[in-house]
Structure 1
Amino acid sequence: MNGAAYLRVSTELQGTEDQRRAIEDFAFRNGIEITGWFQDPDVSGAVPAFEREGFREMLNYMTRENVKAIVVYALDRLGRSFTDIFRTLNELDKYGITVFSVRDSFLQTLDQSIRKLVLAVLAWASEYEVKLIRERVRLAMRRGEVQSKLNLIRKVSKISSESRKLIVSLYGQGWSLRRIAKALNLTLYSVRKVLVEEGVIEPNGCPRCSHKLFWDDIDNTYKCRNCGYRKL
């Protein structure tokens, strides 16, 4: 069987010689003749295999020479995550290309039942990995929201008594919350919080004008008699 060898190193501290010797030894023991060597030096595993110059060059060579096997030192040469590795193996499988891995014994066989099982496991791991990433993103966004609210609360607690009195006074003169916030360089939340803490407006008042909301039995919703706001 003819095969192409693929090497990848991501830093100057790594070299291809150890990978090359391991691949040569593996190919000799398994009756694979390496007819072409390809590499992507100084390329991160985060870069998808099909976007790497050396990998694409190897695929073009394999198409021209009708080579159907790739030998790599380890699966992480093809990608950093389960998702990347699965996508690469699955795509190569569609073209009838078999990948052998020196370090990963489960990819050292031509038994199709075993190779299909490996792809199925990688597919599951890929899906699970995607779910974990989404959950981490969701939690990170949630932490950001919580931190933002905590920062606002801390900001409100630092407002001086003089500023609090001024906020109450301006609101009593008919100033809107937005106008007060802009004049004093505060957030709308901070102004509303101060007025609630000072007992000037209801905690669950109208978000537009802060007047007390009333329940409308006909429309089954809270409304504001002052500005006409309806809670959806």
Structure 2
Amino acid sequence: MFFLLKQSEHIAEVYAAMTGEKRNRTTRNSTKTHAVGYLRTSSAANVGTEKDSDKRQRAAIQRYCKAVGFLIDDADWYYDEAVSGADPLGTRPGWSALMARITSNGVRTVIIEDASRFARELMVQEQGILELRQAGVTVLTAGGDDLTASNDPGRTMIRQIMGSFSEYEKARLVAKLRGARDRKIAETGRCGGRRKLSELNPDALKLARKLRRANPLNGKRMSFRDIALKLAAAGHVAASGKPLSPSVVKRLLGQ
């Protein structure tokens, strides 16, 4: 009996400690201001939780929240994947869902990594900020800047300068990529896209051309089907292991 009483006392102490800790966590969370997080990635190549862009943005926002006392629930993260910073906010699926969430739950603070995640073009940025300010929504960066502040001329100037710089960087990068693409086309005649079959298998092309030459005695040419069989005998087959189709041989020869 004494052992059972001791066990009961121990269980009661553990339960009290656990529920007390739970109450403490609830109390701590209730003192924090709820917010929503917004992430945006321009390139589809950088989309995904394992990619650096997602991790970097989320980590920066979480550090800021921890430092100043904001709380973002798991369901309150919104992500526009492969969406250009030049796109108007109203056309972004993630941002539209974020605004609907804010309207429904009363949260009035949006936190982003920096102004470029919000918009990369100054006009888009300023139009969006005006709309949010009128709706009573505050947009904060992980660096502590209030993008919707209207009573600080210095912040307004810095925000506009940063917006202009982001717009310039985007234009510079586009021009750089266009120049590289033009040089590639000038050198090789093409840039990007799928490689031609003749480029993938130059040996097959060489043999096919030889087989396709007209017979000097009668002027006849070997059929594409017969060429495919000859190519297969030489080890040039389709991915399935079967001979190339006549249409593929024709395309290989550029006919």
Report the TM range for the smaller structure's normalisation. 0.3 to 0.5
Which TM-score applies when normalising by structure 2? 0.44
Hey, which of these two has a bigger chunk of strand by percent?
1
Hey, which of these two has a bigger chunk of helix by percent?
2
Which TM-score applies when normalising by structure 1? 0.48
